[in-house]
Amino acid sequence: MITSLQAQPLIQIDDIHVAYGAPPKTVLYGIDLEIQEGEFVCVLGQTGCGKSTLLRLVLGSERPCQGHILIEGREHLRPDRSRGYVPQKYSLFPDKTVLDNITFGAEVGEFSLFGCFTPRYFRFRREYRAQAMDYLRRIGLRESDASKYPDQLSGGMQQRVAIAQALLTRPRILLMDEAFSALDPGTRKEMQRLIRELWRDTGTTILFVTHNTQEALCLGTRVIVLAKESPDSGSRVALDLRIPQPCHEEEIPRLMRKLERVSSNFPEADPQADEIHAVR
Amino acid sequence: MSSGVFAIHAKPGRTTALALSWFLFAAGVGLYFYASALRHRDNPEDRVTPTLTQMARGMYDAVLHPAEDDEPLAEGASWMETVRHSMLWKDTKATGIRFFASLALLLPAVLVGLHMGLFPYMGAFLLRFILFFDKIIALSLLPILFIAFGIDELSKIMLIVIGVTPTIILDTFNISRAVPGEQVVKAFTLGASDFDVAYRVVLKQISPRVLNSIRLNLKAIMLFLFAGEMIASTDGLAYRIALLRRHMGMDVIIPYVLWVALLLFLVDFGMRWMNRKLHPWFHEA
């Protein structure tokens, strides 16, 4: 089983090249990645290095100039149900209550635009709501929050709901774009614990974009660092690091230094620099 | 002068603010009646600045009697029938029907704007043409409309449609373009189809803003409606105002102008109330 999965990765990124604008400015080039089912991949890089672009390519909302992205061996040219999405902002529909937000995926899946007027729809809604309520409790919301609108919730709560909304349609891949970057440190820690838990329980493959090294290290089973070789060139994979599981606390400072050096000094990073950093 | 009445940081008390806000009303009314009293001292039959009693009598006739050009009321009619045959009621009804018919015709405009904002092919197809159309001054088309559609209801409603529709389309287009892309992508990842995104996500989200935009265009709608009615009509509030001008009937014109303002205020207020009730999640920025 494992060997067959190894043969066909869940996400295969094949020699991607992306450029924007006129004259074209390269953002990403020569990206080759294979992501297996069940991995928790953190994409790390400085602002503007193209990590969100990479995520949007996997999402299908953008297309590469060259290369392919295969998901389960197939090219997906637009976002669909197989990949859930949790952005940093605007992750919830402001006009729907928390409960309606969570059940939206199931509703559009089952009922077309005109289907929402049939009695079957209301029956379905009632039944599904009970299930959604259970889920809400699991991610740490109270029953009274269900009828609130998103802007009545704190940022952390909003992201909890957004994660629940994305996971309730059971996608195989969850794409998170700086999902916790706007949260305060305490809430962020809680959310990191929650997403690790959900990842372990559901076995969803997660692609998590962040600029925070510590976050990448404590979440991921694998950290991919994107960096530019020179200010004018596009970004490449500077480092593809598998994090030993479980990651020991004392390992983190050393790994952090290593990652930050790679990210800021690519491609001159040399192994000797590790000690220099440590002395400082 | 860092503190004082005209400073940015000045804080008028509640009573002061209330009194100030009503001051111009009181001054306007006072000035009018002062001028009216002066003119009436010279000429008791003055029609240019009618007194309160003259206006009350004029309106009393307007509410309780049919217009001069209308057929007279049957003998022994009930109170309800009297009002229903009165000049004011008939004029208001005629204008109201035209007004709400043109409001209803704005609904397709909203849908066109939504589709233009969401579907790139629709946008590419329509945007330039509507931008051009928006620049045409609708009133200058009035003669063409009268020639093309005749001088009955259709040309008046077409005038409103041509005058206001491009604005509403472009407004809706801009509002739907301003919906964050994340929302659309998110809806797709939850399994929504194109039409689910258009009607269940974007239209629902933009509807309070679109309603506000229509509300701000109410005056334009009324303006076109009044222009059409004044030039070619046999009933309606603006027709009456234009007709009474010939008789110097200021005792009815002034109450009519205030009546129209009141009606427009009520429609505006109703739409604001509806917006709050329908979209409790919406907070104006």
pLDDT tier at A246 (50, 70, 90 boundaries)?
low
Token code pair at residue A275: 């000690």
Nearest alpha-carbon partner for A277 in A266, A259, A267, B229: A259
For residue B203, the chain A residue with the least C-alpha distance is A95
Residue ranges for chain B with pLDDT beneath 70: 1-3, 75, 285
At A213 the pLDDT is 87
Using a CB-CB cut-off of 8 Å, the residues of chain A touching B189 are 59, 79-81, 83-85, 166, 169, 171
Distant-in-sequence, close-in-space partners of B3: CB < 8 Å, separation ≥ 6: B9, B10
What would the pLDDT profile of A265-278 be if each residue is shown by its tens digit?
666 544 444 443 43
Using the Cβ of A200 and the Cβ atoms of chain B, whether some distance falls under 8 Å is answered with no
At B41 the pLDDT is 92
At A271 the pLDDT is 46
Give the whole-angstrom CA distance, residue A248 versus residue A231: 35
At A257 the pLDDT is 80
| Identity of the residue in B189, B200, B280 whose CB atom sits nearest the CB atom of A83 | B189
CB contact under 8 A, B279 and A105: no
Count the Cβ atoms, other than its own, within 10 Å of residue B278: 12
Q: Which of residues 58-117 of A touch B (CB under 8 A)?
A: 59, 61, 78-81, 83-85, 87, 89-91, 93-96, 104-105, 108-109, 112-113
Q: Pick the more confident residue, A234 or B182.
A: B182
Token code pair at residue A178: 């700086």
At A248 the pLDDT is 67
What is the mean predicted confidence (pLDDT) over A13-20?
Answer: 88
Distance from CA of B202 to the nearest CA of A (A): 9
Using a CB-CB cut-off of 8 Å, the residues of chain B touching A83 are 189
At B27 the pLDDT is 97
A246: left (phi over 0), alpha (psi -120 to 50) or beta: beta
Give the whole-angstrom CA distance, residue B188 versus residue A62: 13
- In the sheet with A25-35, reading across from the earlier edge strand, the strands are A74-75, A66-71, A11-20, A25-35, A235-242, A222-228, A40-44, A205-210, A173-177, A83-86
Using a CB-CB cut-off of 8 Å, the residues of chain B touching A87 are 182, 185-186
pLDDT tier at A29 (50, 70, 90 boundaries)?
confident
A72: left (phi over 0), alpha (psi -120 to 50) or beta: left
At B119 the pLDDT is 95
At B234 the pLDDT is 83
Token code pair at residue B235: 């009933």
CB contact under 8 A, A95 and B196: no
What is the mean predicted confidence (pLDDT) over A175-188?
Answer: 90
Q: Give B154-181 as a 3 state SS string.
A: HHHHHHHHHHHHHHHHHHHHHHHHCCCH
Residue A3 confidence (pLDDT) above 50? no
CB contact under 8 A, A113 and B200: yes
What is the mean predicted confidence (pLDDT) over A120-131?
Answer: 82
At B60 the pLDDT is 87
pLDDT tier at A48 (50, 70, 90 boundaries)?
confident
What would the pLDDT profile of A69-116 be if each residue is shown by its tens digit?
999 888 888 898 899 999 988 889 999 999 999 989 888 888 877 777
pLDDT tier at A238 (50, 70, 90 boundaries)?
confident
Nearest alpha-carbon partner for B256 in B235, B245, B241: B241
CB contact under 8 A, A95 and B187: no
Nearest alpha-carbon partner for A262 in A220, A207, A218, A213: A213
Chain Cα centroid distance, residue A47: 16
Which of the residues B185, B190, B211 would you substitute to probe the A interface, choosing the one with the greatest number of A C-beta atoms within 10 Å? B190
Q: Which of residues 142-161 of A touch B (CB under 8 A)?
A: 149-151
Q: A11, A189 in Cβ contact below 8 A?
A: no
At A46 the pLDDT is 84
Query: What percent of chain A is predicted at pLDDT more than 70?
Result: 90
CB contact under 8 A, A93 and B182: no
At A6 the pLDDT is 53
Distant-in-sequence, close-in-space partners of A136: CB < 8 Å, separation ≥ 6: A98, A99, A102, A143, A145, A146, A161, A164
ipTM associated with this complex: 0.86
What is the mean predicted confidence (pLDDT) over A250-259?
Answer: 77
The pTM for the full model equals 0.85
Q: Give chain A as a 3 state SS string.
A: CHHHHHHCCCEEEEEEEEEECCCCEEEEEEEEEEECCCCEEEEECCCCCCHHHHHHHHHCCCCCCEEEEEECCEECCCCCCCEEEECCCCCCCCCCCHHHHHHHHHHHHHCCCCHHHCHHHHHHHHHHHHHHHHHHHHCCCCHHHHHCCHHHCCHHHHHHHHHHHHHCCCCCEEEEECCCCCCCHHHHHHHHHHHHHHHHHHCCEEEEEECCHHHHHHHCCEEEEEEECCCCCCEEEEEEEECCCCCCCCHHHHHHHHHHHHHHHCCCCCCCHHHHHHHC
Say how many CB pairs under 8 Å bridge A and B. 82
At A242 the pLDDT is 86
